[in-house]
Homo-oligomer: A and B are copies of this chain.
């Protein structure tokens, strides 16, 4: 034993503790279990991590000792030693709006099966806290990362690359991903919606759009497509993100104020669209007679508004699930051929158009 210990420190008085000495913490550790089981700490570690390498009898003894001591492993220490933390971090703007909640749910469910835990970061709208959050999260050395959107600061991108872990960027495919991506084309959503409404015969258009990165891509593409189709003079209202029903009511009020009393309105979210429906009802406008409404998201209530809402459906559970699969495949050492998955979208036609 070459290290100096308190007991063989002859130069200091009996009770003085050596440099670096700390009070005992009183928590049960591997070696406590080992002592009780009459084996080495390493054997206990093996019982926990690769029991098949330990004799059945020994496993039994050790398991009993673990139970008796109430030992709870310390994954900080384990992670430090192995550089594998069994942690996956996810950053989403917000979780209370249910659109990302579904995603996180399926992601977490899948990862939990594989023994991974979820570190959750909420970056807010706009992703103001993202940079700091990425830093804080990388400090915990997660094994993989789930991000929302593909636009990050240069600094963030550098850090993310430097982390050398699987990274899935979701919801968007417009920028070249850092590593992997699961999402769909927001530009195509805008274009297809415009075309859909045009094909249905509408000739007057409006948009109530959130000032969110991805929402912007959608309604700008919608506007651009309408221009291509020869439609000029599209009324547009913007609202901050996250959106809610009241912003929708308010939005329709503003549109009416601008003289938009007839035509089709593309809303950035189902919540906005729902607000528009209610405001229309309150004002005695007929839907889709006077105005037609398209939402985005196909949240649970969309099928049950009155009239039922035409909207764009995204399989948000699939986003989480597929992201989990990509991550797990990579963590299992497999090479992922398709690093970008387009989950697509569907325009669900109901009564509001």
Interface residues of A (CB under 8 A from B): 2-4, 25, 70, 72-77, 79-80, 83, 85, 87, 94-98, 101-102, 104-106, 108-109, 112, 115, 117-122, 129, 133, 135-141, 158-159, 162-163, 244-245, 271, 274, 278, 300-301, 304-306
Contacts and interface: CB of A to CB of B under 8 A. Distances in A.
Contact of A129 (B74, B112, B139): B112
17 contacts: A70-B159, A72-B159, A76-B77, A76-B80, A80-B80, A87-B140, A108-B122, A109-B122, A112-B129, A117-B120, A117-B121, A117-B137, A118-B120, A244-B300, A245-B300, A271-B300, A304-B305
B117 A118 contact: no
B85 A95 contact: no
Contacts of A104: 95-96, 120
A303 to B, nearest CB: 9
Given A2-B4, A98-B98, A119-B117, A139 B108 contact: no
Given A25-B83, A72-B138, A95-B101, 10 more contacts: A74-B80, A75-B141, A76-B79, A76-B140, A95-B108, A96-B102, A108-B122, A117-B140, A245-B300, A304-B305
Task: Kindly list the 9 A-B residue pairs having the minimum CB-CB distance in the complex, ordered from nearest.
Answer: A96-B105, A75-B139, A101-B101, A120-B120, A96-B102, A76-B80, A118-B120, A98-B98, A76-B79
A118 B122 CA distance: 9
Contacts of A163: 72
A315 to B, nearest CB: 13
Nearest to A122: B108
B76 A162 contact: no
Contacts of A74: 80, 139, 141
A123 to B, nearest CB: 10
A164 to B, nearest CB: 9
A117 B95 contact: no
A136 B109 contact: no
A135 B74 CA distance: 11
Given A80-B74, A245-B300, A304-B245, A112 B122 contact: yes
Contacts of A274: 301, 304
A252 B72 CA distance: 48
A300 to B, nearest CB: 6
A158 B67 CA distance: 12
A87 B72 CA distance: 17
The listed residue with most B CB atoms (<10 A of its CB), out of A96, A106, A136, is A96
A140 B75 contact: yes
A326 to B, nearest CB: 20
Given A80-B80, A120-B119, A96 B101 contact: yes
Contact of A3 (B3, B94, B101, B135): B3
Contact of A158 (B70, B115, B306): B70
